[in-house]
Amino acid sequence: MASTISSPSPRWLGQITPWLVPVAILAAWQAAAQLGWLSTRILPAPSAVLAAAWTLAASGELLTHLKASFARAAIGFAIGGGIGFFFGLINGGYRLAENLFDTTLQMVRNVPHLALIPLVILWFGIGEEGKLFLVALGVFFPIYLNTFHGIRAVDASLVEMGRSYGLSGWSLFHHVILPGALPGILVGVRYALGFMWLTLIVAETISATSGIGYMAMNAREFLQTDIVVVAILLYAVLGKLADVAARLLERRLLRWNPAYAPA
């Protein structure tokens, strides 16, 4: 401790220090693969993964699969998130709706949605509908629960103030209730994005003719471990991108809140 205080290290050193360990692991991995200690069937060298990614990108195959996966994720999210948001709003806003729907929804919530896969295949076959259904179900509950609690957590004194200033109906919702519930709703969005990718991975590995999951399954058939690793990394990148997007959304929409202000 004392030495770091007495001799401050240069700025660039502090910036590269966190990357030393990952780079070392990558280097060791590369060396192990090239020296033959690590079978390429178990794990291909990082350079081979990169090369596979490059080949897939150059042939346009990668983009096709990315598009297919992204479209499924977006449509499923829009459907499930939209329905979840709707039920969150009415159940949070109206006691009657809560009494009518909440118990049912809570019961359904306790069923792991991936357990429905056999049934989903029977209902929808192996087409797109089943995958969208699973993704929609996966994102429904995080959005529903957090919207519901967000609405309930809106400061009642602000609602009273709004009413006494002549707001009612849509204007009260638009100016007071929705912005007040937004921190909660955005937490739900972030959870939902995580569930969205998780569900998509599983759904695409069941049976598909496009998408990143299909790409990985197909590569497995031909023992192309490098492509399998590319697919896994792609999921990681997509998940990270979704998280970054959610963070940006929070910073933009909640910029009034000191807790979300940029540091």
Partner 1 sequence: MGVIDSNEIRALTGAPAPGDARKSGVRIRFDGLSKAYAARQVLNDVNLDIDAGEFVAIVGRSGCGKSTLLRLLAGLEQPGAGGIALDGEPLQQTRDELRLMFQDARLLPWRTVVDNVALGLPGSRADVRRAALAALADVGLADRADEWPSRLSGGQRQRVALARALVHRPRLLLLDEPLGALDALTRIEMHQLIERLWLAQGFTALLVTHDVAEAVALADRVLLIEDGSIALDLRVPLARPRERGSAAFAALEDDVLRRVLQHPPLEDQAAAPSTVSFGQWRWAA
Tell me which residues touch partner 1 (CB under 8 A).
157-158, 160-167, 171, 175-176, 179-180, 182, 254, 256-258
CB of 256 to partner 1, least distance (A): 4
Alpha carbon 243 to its chain's center: 6
* Residue whose C-alpha is closest to residue 202's, from 129, 140, 119, 115: 115
Of 32 and 261, CB closest to partner 1: 261
Structure tokens at 192: 């939902």
* Residue whose C-alpha is closest to residue 77's, from 132, 156, 13: 132
Measured CA to CA, the distance from residue 191 to residue 118 in angstroms comes to 25
CB of 246 to partner 1, least distance (A): 18
CB of 175 to partner 1, least distance (A): 7
Of 121 and 158, CB closest to partner 1: 158
Of 183 and 239, CB closest to partner 1: 183
Q: How far is CA 87 from each of CA 98, 141, 143, 147, rounded to the nearest angstrom?
A: 9, 10, 9, 8
The DSSP code for 211 is S
CB of 173 to partner 1, least distance (A): 13
CB of 236 to partner 1, least distance (A): 34
- Roughly how many angstroms between the first and final C-alpha of the chain, as a whole number? 26
SS3 letters across 66-86: HHHHHHHHHHHHHHHHHHHHH
Of 86 and 165, CB closest to partner 1: 165
Of 6 and 168, CB closest to partner 1: 168
